[in-house]
A and B are shown apart, each in its own frame.
Chain A
Amino acid sequence: QQKVQQSPESLIVPEGGMASLNCTSSDRNVDYFWWYRQHSGKSPKMLMSIFSNGEKEEGRFTVHLNKASLHTSLHIRDSQPSDSALYLCAASTAGGNYKPTFGKGTSLVVHP
């Protein structure tokens, strides 16, 4: 079964700073990556997805994907206290049923 490893486990950044989160899959068949954000007491919600090599930017959030190394990273610039949450990375293979496999997550705290 594929494993999804996330690092760091926890991260503290000052308000206005840059947060960088990492995710790697051990399954060479993985094609798709998603980043989900889960605020305390709430359900996970998809933040960004990336399926092709390269970079994708949405507002303060940028996600990178290197398919050769099966590594994706999420960067949050100008971090806000409201960004404090658990960030989950998920990966799945293409074709047939999607069966997203999740990592343990990175707990981000943005302090004012």
Chain B
Amino acid sequence: DTTVKQNPRYKLARVGKPVNLICSQTMNHDTMYWYQKKPNQAPKLLLFYYDKILNREADTFEKFQSSRPNNSFCSLYIGSAGLEYSAMYLCASSRQNTGQLYFGEGSKLTVL
């Protein structure tokens, strides 16, 4: 089974409200990633977990938080959503020594 599941698939949020997106995988992958995808833009890496170690990209460091309570589960948390957070959020997982990413189908966030 090479499935990565994301919930919710669609999320509507008000400006200033928190948002929590969830991702799970059953492949025992050691690395889990979160990408942000806006129309006509490349997927942008926000952060990733290697095992229990969180790595956040410098330019998104303060905007996104994440937790990984176990190997299978990873969340993406936005404390106060702004209009600019409207995007598709893609979760992916991989084995560290292969680099191949397995993606979920995404969570589409709309902030109003």
Count residues of chain B with CB under 8 A from any CB of chain A.
23
| 8 A Cβ contacts from A67-112 to B | 88, 90, 92, 97-105
Q: Which residues of A contact B31 (CB under 8 A)?
A: 97-98
Per-residue contact bits, chain B 31-71, to A (CB 8 Å; 1 contact, 0 not):
10001000011110100101000010001000000000000
Contact of B4 among A36, A43, A97 (CB under 8 A): A43
A4-B42, A42-B105 known; A99+B100 contact, CB < 8 A: no
Contact A32 B99 (CB under 8 A): yes
Contact B43 A97 (CB under 8 A): no
Contact A98 B99 (CB under 8 A): yes
Q: Which residues of A contact B104 (CB under 8 A)?
A: 43
B34 to chain A, nearest CB (A): 12
Contact A101 B90 (CB under 8 A): no
Segment among A14-22, A44-52, A55-63 that sits at the interface with chain B: A44-52
A20 to chain B, nearest CB (A): 20
Contact of B96 among A1, A34, A98 (CB under 8 A): A98
Q: Which residues of B contact A105 (CB under 8 A)?
A: 42
Q: Which residues of B contact A46 (CB under 8 A)?
A: 100-102
Contact of A34 among B41, B42, B45, B100 (CB under 8 A): B100
Chain B residues within CB distance 8 Å of chain A: 4, 31, 35, 40-43, 45, 48, 50, 55, 59, 90, 94, 96, 99-106
**Closest A-B pairs by Cβ, 10 of them:** A43-B103, A98-B99, A102-B43, A104-B42, A43-B105, A102-B42, A44-B103, A46-B100, A103-B42, A97-B50
